[in-house]
């Protein structure tokens, strides 16, 4: 709804009040009222509150200390007190601490060095060292390196770009790893990664746009994982985000006035670019090569 610039249709004050009820007394957020706090839900809560302009209502210092406490000696991050390790938690931690303006509480150098340990021979990243490359894990790894200003140091953009562009299927959609079906969710995970490494032009953008649009529910609205399936909130976000990054809405504004006002999404932080600019969040990008005729 923030991308569509229609947050006011969702009673923002009620959303903020509910999210704050999920805040832990010692900092951090849970997925529901009374549940255990977790790094994943902490980032999601911060993103929601940032988009709705309510960050001033949280326990900023306690939240930052909770996030920082999850960093391990090897630079990785656990998701909670039981310390499951995954690159997505590195992404969550760095993003949360940037929003909280407390990135100095963790060792960013060892955090990005750990992400490099998850890099594979094919240029992609797994969720842990030695694990298979996957579109979702690549996004969290590349985004973490983007926030740590370490893309040039730890990403082989040519090799990774090739692996990602090979994920485009005959249908035009993208999959997350070889021999899997196309899924709209990778219109976010893979496209955001391609933008961060400057390789978006390596895929057929038009084919992907056609695939995303074919996944819409023409009667009830929303977007499914693939054509003919039931639409859901997750894939609706992924589809809209993908269309934003592919420039679809900007291109179609003249013939579709209702697209006016749809926001751009930041490929690293996954929220509208104007919110990123307001919070003064920073991240690294590899610029696309410019070929002279």
pLDDT tens digits, 35-79? 999 999 999 999 999 999 999 999 999 999 999 999 999 999 999
* 161 located within any domain: yes
pLDDT value of residue 292:
58
Q: Exposed (0-12), middle (13-18) or buried (19+): which is 214, by Cβ within 10 Å? A: middle
Question: Does any domain span residue 289?
Answer: no
* Ranges of residues in the chain whose predicted pLDDT is under 70: 290-293
Residue 290 maps to a domain: no
148 domain-assigned: yes
In a domain? residue 293? no
What is the span of the domain harbouring residue 172?
7-279
Instruction: Report if residue 236 sits inside a domain.
Output: yes
Read off the CATH number of the domain in which 12 is found: 1.50.10.20
Answer yes or no: are the C-beta atoms of 61 and 104 closer than 8 Å: no
The confidence score (pLDDT) of residue 10 equals 85
pLDDT of residue 260: 86
Cα–Cα nearest to 155, from 118, 191, 192, 129:
118
Q: Is residue 287 part of a domain?
A: no
String of DSSP letters for 226-274: STTSPPBHHHHHHHHHHHHHTTHHHHTTTT-GGGTTPPPB-TTT-SBHH
Report yes or no on 129 lying in a domain: yes
Alpha-carbon dihedral sign for residues 37, 39, 41, 44 = positive
Q: What is the pTM of this model?
A: 0.95
DSSP state of 104: G
Q: What is the pLDDT of residue 119?
A: 98
Give the number of domains in the chain: 1
């Amino acid at each position: 709804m923030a991308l569509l610039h229609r947050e006011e249709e969702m009673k923002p004050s009620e959303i903020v009040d509910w999210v704050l009820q999920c805040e832990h007394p010692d900092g951090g957020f849970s997925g529901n009222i009374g549940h255990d706090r977790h790094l994943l839900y902490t980032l999601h809560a911060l993103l929601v509150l940032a988009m709705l302009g309510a960050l001033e209502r949280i326990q900023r210092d306690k939240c930052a200390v909770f996030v920082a406490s999850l960093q391990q000696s090897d630079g990785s991050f656990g998701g909670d007190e039981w310390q499951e390790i995954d690159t997505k938690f590195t992404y969550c931690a760095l993003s949360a601490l940037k929003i909280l303006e407390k990135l100095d509480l963790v060792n960013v150098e060892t955090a990005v060095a750990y992400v490099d340990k998850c890099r594979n021979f094919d240029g992609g990243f797994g969720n842990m060292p030695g694990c298979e490359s996957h579109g979702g894990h690549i996004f969290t790894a590349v985004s973490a390196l983007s926030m740590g200003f370490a893309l040039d140091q730890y990403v082989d953009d040519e090799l990774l770009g090739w692996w990602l562009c090979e994920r485009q299927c005959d249908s035009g959609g993208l999959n997350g790893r070889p021999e899997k079906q196309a899924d709209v969710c990778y219109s976010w995970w893979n496209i955001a990664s391609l933008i961060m490494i400057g390789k978006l032009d390596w895929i057929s953008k038009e084919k992907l746009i056609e695939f995303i649009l074919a996944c819409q529910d023409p009667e009830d609205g929303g977007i499914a994982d693939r054509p003919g399936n039931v639409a859901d909130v997750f894939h609706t976000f992924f589809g809209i985000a993908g269309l934003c990054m592919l420039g679809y809405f900007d291109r179609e504004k003249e013939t579709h006035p209702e697209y006016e006002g749809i926001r751009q999404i930041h490929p690293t932080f996954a929220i509208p670019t104007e919110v990123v600019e307001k919070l003064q969040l920073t991240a690294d990008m590899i610029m696309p090569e410019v070929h002279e005729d």
